[in-house]
Structure 1
Amino acid sequence: MARPTRVTRALSQNFLTDRKAAARLARLAVPDPHTGPLLLEVGAGKGALTQPLAPRCRRLLAYEIDERLVPGLDARFRATPQVQVVAGDFLAARPPRTPFSVAGNVPFSRTAAIVDWCLRAPTLTDATLLTQLEYARKRTGDYGSWTQLTVLSWPRYEWRLVGRVGRYSFRPVPRVDAGIIRIERRRIPLLAPAAEPGWRHLVELGFSGVGGSLHASLRRARPRRRVDAAFRHARLDRAVLVGEVSPERWLQLYEVLVHD
């Protein structure tokens, strides 16, 4: 009997052991297996998610940074021609030049870096990631508040919380449950590429925290009368906190403060 692989804390390893959860994640990552996407898997581990993903993909690049796990992955998927096990750090990979998807049980400590990699990849179509539940809820507005990253990327990407996985579905058992987050590139961006610098400046100004409210922060660079008009257009109270403003309301503020 093979000895169990010891967990490396530096890699933030929590192996998904729930087959039903893995199958559900695979269906969410590739809703239509007939499309046969090129898919990159983050942290293949022992192959729990690779297994249900493989038949749904035209080609699957399974990245695994822990060299101890690579021989087992190679052996498990040697007879699966569409799967290529890649020994190395996903974050060091160059994004494919053709459209591709990303999926994976993300090491909790590396979530921010992996999400950033995805958002920067020019040809990424979507990413389906298993993260800490709190992270997933914050990024998707599930708490009723929104983060700067979500608002900044909203014109190009839609963020959704599409599922939850209990902590006992992992080994070792983490302290918190996990959430499945889905990030999809919009086929038609909500803003033209030329508008992105103005959008970024507006959002970063709003999240600067100066003045104690979004209204006060925006007045640093815009006349009060214009900011008042923008808040009326977006149907926002002047005392609203920046995190309480949805991306859709941000777009309405942009229409008055920048676009006009």
Structure 2
Amino acid sequence: MNNNYIATPTRTREILRKYQFQFKKSLGQNFLIDVNILENIIKKAGIDHESGVIEVGPGIGALTEQLAIHAKKVVAFEIDQRLFPILDDTLKQYNNVQFIHQDILKADVIQVIKDNFTPGQVIHIVANLPYYITTPILMKLLQENLPITSLTVMIQKEVAARMAAVPNSKSYGSLSIAVQYYTHAEIVMQVPNSVFMPQPNVDSSVLKLTIRETPPVDVINEEYFFTLVKAAFFQRRKTLRNNLTNYFAKSFSKEEVNQLLDKAGIDGTRRGESLTIEEFAVLANTFTRL
């Protein structure tokens, strides 16, 4: 292993000292200090020398460096202006990396892809995401129908469990269905908090989301489908009938909710966590047709 890589405790401390960098808690900054874990992430993501990669939140460049070694081109979005002089220094030997000073939530990612990658190139998103904003970032990237193959992200262990959860499990909920509507979700690695500087209070998982060519279900109205899923988990301990009756009180009477459940062939005494994505699609389409 090259001891001069950024992702070692010694080199990270050197960089932080040199630039007198102070971590901003509000940006969820935790830098990776284990090269083996980074190399494993890249392997799990399926990065090769022809790949284009988008990174979110490069920090001081630990993951960016390994991506630059293994991929054809890396484009990294960073919101913290203080990091740009550091990145320019730490990654100056790599000519296949470009940094964009922008909040990923406001970025036109499709345009960035057009500007930086060749048509038909396989593109992956790889990131160590800030815990406090993981879900908004991932949902934005999934809903924009980007021409990407996969997203491989280091996120809080519990959030990864929710995104990859199956029906009838404690973690299964509306987030599981939203993510799995767009992707095949798989937890590919568990990561202890000891490989970060500073150490977060939680453990992490690496979640790989492989983009589906088409959703696993046909729904008449996508927005309504997600609204109904949210309604089904409105109060987790309540039955489907109660949740739907309460959530859609202005649209449907209790009797109408019962009739629609019967029409969909779904028992209203079940809880939302017991329904598969296919059953949610049937239910949403039944409600939409009324």
Report the TM-score when normalising by structure 2: 0.74
Contact 1:152 1:199 in 2 (8 A): no
Change (3 A) 1:242 1:37: same
SS of aligned partner of 2:99: strand
1:190 and 2:216 correspond: yes
SS of aligned partner of 1:128: strand
Contact 1:210 1:216 in 2 (8 A): no
Which residue of 1 is the match for residue 48 of structure 2? 33
Q: Matched residues in 1 for 2:153 and 2:165: separation?
A: 16
Q: Matched residues in 2 for 1:62 and 1:115: separation?
A: 15
Contact 2:221 2:285 in 1 (8 A): no
1:175 and 2:201 correspond: yes
Unaligned residue ranges in structure 1 (runs of 5+): none
Contact 2:142 2:182 in 1 (8 A): no
Change (3 A) 1:144 1:204: closer
Change (3 A) 1:38 1:9: same
Please report how far the alpha carbon of residue 195 of structure 1 lies from its aligned counterpart in structure 2 after TM superposition. 4.0
Unaligned residue ranges in structure 2 (runs of 5+): 1-13, 115-121
Which residue of 2 is the match for residue 12 of structure 1? 28
Contact 2:217 2:278 in 1 (8 A): no
Change (3 A) 1:163 1:253: farther
1:103 and 2:137 correspond: no
The one-letter amino acid of 2:190's match is R
Which residue of 1 is the match for residue 57 of structure 2? 43
Report the TM-score when normalising by structure 1: 0.82
1:149 and 2:175 correspond: yes
Kindly tell me the number of residue pairs found equivalent between the two proteins: 254
1:224 and 2:240 correspond: no
Percent of aligned positions that are identical: 25
Please report how far the alpha carbon of residue 223 of structure 1 lies from its aligned counterpart in structure 2 after TM superposition. 5.0
Please report how far the alpha carbon of residue 175 of structure 1 lies from its aligned counterpart in structure 2 after TM superposition. 0.9
Name whichever of 249-258 and 53-62 sits farther off.
Answer: 249-258
Change (3 A) 1:207 1:43: same
Please report how far the alpha carbon of residue 86 of structure 1 lies from its aligned counterpart in structure 2 after TM superposition. 2.4
Change (3 A) 1:10 1:223: closer
Alignment partner for residue 233 of structure 2, among 207, 229, 248? 207
Q: Matched residues in 2 for 1:25 and 1:176: separation?
A: 19
Contact 1:65 1:89 in 2 (8 A): yes
